[in-house]
């Protein structure tokens, strides 16, 4: 149970498939949900189906099987397709898509045309103030910085109080400093407005920093849906393991509920059901270097990252692992070292199913 389990489900995808006219399936068997106020991140490499999933939720693409529900009502199914404008979803695109001939104020008010005049003005003022744009209300989009354009796009998307906000790689056109600031601003804004959101990104750090739950997509399929912590520590596939951080794999053998490897013996995962020959996932943060002239490892690479240094160690067997060390620790290239692995969980995959 997570604390959010008692909140109502806002978005629910059940076994959703989508195909484009070419006939090939762009999405298959996608199931996940988001509860009120949750941020779900769709994470995966280019072409894996992130944008298609957003478009299906928004109602721009029909589903070829399965169901999508918003606030408990089915909006997409094979025999049902509620039009986009009736779904009450807000959208923020990569390029913000502001109307160039409208001021910030008119952009923000665009989706509020049918509301009563008094409410409309106060709602626009509220959104401008929430996004820090009150002073810039009369400007046109071309006279705004990237961060300001993004705030205007967010204000416009949130003004009609959408049931769900969809964001497609919203930070990809911003410089790194602005991105960092806008991520925090977005989190704050979503919390203040209690908005449920689906955030598309190909950057696992962004997904981890922003999301309550992450959905990793690969080749049109959902590989794993989990909290960032579970995704990082207990990935269900080698693909997820590598996509959400540095992962190395060494061979191991399961015997009497332990895994025996060249870097030591670890408790075998109790729910593992595959064969005895496995690969064990090793994260750099679990590997610690000890100076040892007779050690089995050789320092082959060193990458200074400021707060940490990432070392690459070649083992006697020829296998290669990374170690994250405090950047105050220094091991020269080509020196012999010994490794100690201290992991809270052992992650193994059946070697029979393993592809390199
Ligand atoms: P992502 O956003 O993760 O990069 P997309 O959802 O855009 O991926 O694309 C998923 C797959 O669908 C890709 O193989 C892509 O080439 C294909 N695709 C996307 N849009 C179209 C389209 N309009 N017509 C045909 N195929 C498309
Ligand atoms: Mg995309």
For residue range 122-171, list pLDDT tens digits in order.
999 999 999 999 999 999 999 999 899 999 999 999 999 999 999 999 98
CA of 26 to the centre of ligand 1 (A): 6
- For ligand 1, atom 25: residue with the closest CA: 20
Any domain includes 142: yes
Does residue 263 share a domain with residue 216?
no
User: Are residue 203 and residue 132 in the same domain, yes or no?
Assistant: yes
CATH number at 264 reads 2.40.50.140
195 in a structural domain: yes
Closest CA to 311 of 290, 292, 289, 291: 289
Q: Residue 341 in 3-state DSSP? A: strand
- For residue range 15-26, list pLDDT tens digits in order: 999 998 877 789
**pLDDT tens digits, one per residue of 98-128:** 999 999 999 999 988 765 667 888 999 999 9
Q: What is the pLDDT of residues 169-223, one digit of tens each?
A: 998 888 888 899 889 999 999 999 999 999 999 999 999 999 999 999 999 999 9
Q: Whose CA is nearest to atom 21 of ligand 1?
A: 20
Higher pLDDT among residues 42 and 327, named by residue: 42
Same domain for 302 and 210? Answer: no
Q: Is 22 in the pocket of ligand 1 (CB under 6 A)?
A: yes
**26 in contact with ligand 1, CB cutoff 6 A:** yes
270-329, pLDDT tens digit by residue? 999 999 999 999 999 999 999 999 999 999 999 999 999 999 999 999 999 999 999 899
| CATH number of the CATH domain containing 65 | 3.40.50.300
pLDDT at 177 (0 to 100):
87
Q: Are residues 29 and 176 in the same domain?
A: yes
> What's this model's pTM, rounded to 2 decimal places?
0.91
User: Could you say which of 238, 268, 290 is where a domain stops?
Assistant: 238
Q: Whose CA is nearest to atom 5 of ligand 1?
A: 49
Nearest to 58 by CA among 48, 44, 68, 43: 68
Q: Are residues 170 and 29 in the same domain?
A: yes
Token couple for 164 = 């769900």
Could you tell me the distance, in angstroms and rounded to a whole number, from the CA of residue 49 to the centre of ligand 2? 7
**Same domain assignment for residues 227 and 263:** no
My answer on whether 165 and 255 are in the same domain is no
Residue 3 has pLDDT above 90, yes or no: no
Name which residue sits closest to atom 15 of ligand 1, judged by CA: 47
Here the tokens at position 145 are 């910085």
Closest CA to 305 of 329, 283, 339: 329
Q: How confident is the model at residue 1, as a pLDDT? A: 44
Closest C-alpha among 138, 160, 161 to residue 148: 138
Query: 168 C-alpha to center of ligand 2: Å?
Result: 7
The verdict on 200 and 276 lying in the same domain is: no
What pLDDT does 337 receive? 97
| Residue 288, CA distances (Å) to 189, 228, 282, 309, 313 in order | 40, 24, 11, 12, 11
Give the chain's domain count. 2
> Is the confidence at residue 356, as pLDDT, over 60?
no
Domain that holds residue 209: 9-238
DSSP secondary structure, 204-256, as one string: HHHHHHH-SEEEEEETTEEEEEE-HHHHHHS-SSHHHHHHTS--EEEEEEEET
Residue 23: nearest ligand to its CA? 1
User: Residues 253, 339: one domain?
Assistant: yes
234 and 252 share one domain: no
Is 88 part of a structural domain of the chain? yes
């Amino acid at each position: 149970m997570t604390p959010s389990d008692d909140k109502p489900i806002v978005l629910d995808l059940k076994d959703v498939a989508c195909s484009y006219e070419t006939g090939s399936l762009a999405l298959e068997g996608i199931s996940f949900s988001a509860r009120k106020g949750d941020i779900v991140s769709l994470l995966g490499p280019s072409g894996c189906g992130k944008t298609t999933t957003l478009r299906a939720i928004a109602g721009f693409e029909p589903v070829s099987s399965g169901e999508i529900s918003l606030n408990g009502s089915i909006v997409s199914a094979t025999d049902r397709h509620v039009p986009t404008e009736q779904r009450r979803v807000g959208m923020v695109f990569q390029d913000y898509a502001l109307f160039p001939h409208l001021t910030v104020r008119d952009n923000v008010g665009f989706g509020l045309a049918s509301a009563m005049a008094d409410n409309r003005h106060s709602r626009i003022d509220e959104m401008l103030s929430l996004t820090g744009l009150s002073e810039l209300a009369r400007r046109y989009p071309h006279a705004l910085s990237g961060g300001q354009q993004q705030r205007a796009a967010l204000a416009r998307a949130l003004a009609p109080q959408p049931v769900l906000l969809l964001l497609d790689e919203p930070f990809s056109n911003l410089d790194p400093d602005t991105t960092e600031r806008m991520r925090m601003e977005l989190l704050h804004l979503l919390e203040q407005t209690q908005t449920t959101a689906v955030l598309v990104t190909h950057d696992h750090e962004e997904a981890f920093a922003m999301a309550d739950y992450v959905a990793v997509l690969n080749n049109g399929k959902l590989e794993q849906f989990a909290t960032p912590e579970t995704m990082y520590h207990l990935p269900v596939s080698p693909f997820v393991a590598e996509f959400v951080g540095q992962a190395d794999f060494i061979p191991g053998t399961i015997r009497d509920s332990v895994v025996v490897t060249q870097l030591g013996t670890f408790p075998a995962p109790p729910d593992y059901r595959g064969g005895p020959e496995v690969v064990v996932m090793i994260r750099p943060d679990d590997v610690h270097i000890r100076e040892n002239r007779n050690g089995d490892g050789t320092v082959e690479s060193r990458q200074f990252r400021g707060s940490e240094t990432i070392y690459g160690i070649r083992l006697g067997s020829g296998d290669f692992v990374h170690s994250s060390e405090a950047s105050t620790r220094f091991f020269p290239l080509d020196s012999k070292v010994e490794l100690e692995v201290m992991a809270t969980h052992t992650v193994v995959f059946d070697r029979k199913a393993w592809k390199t």
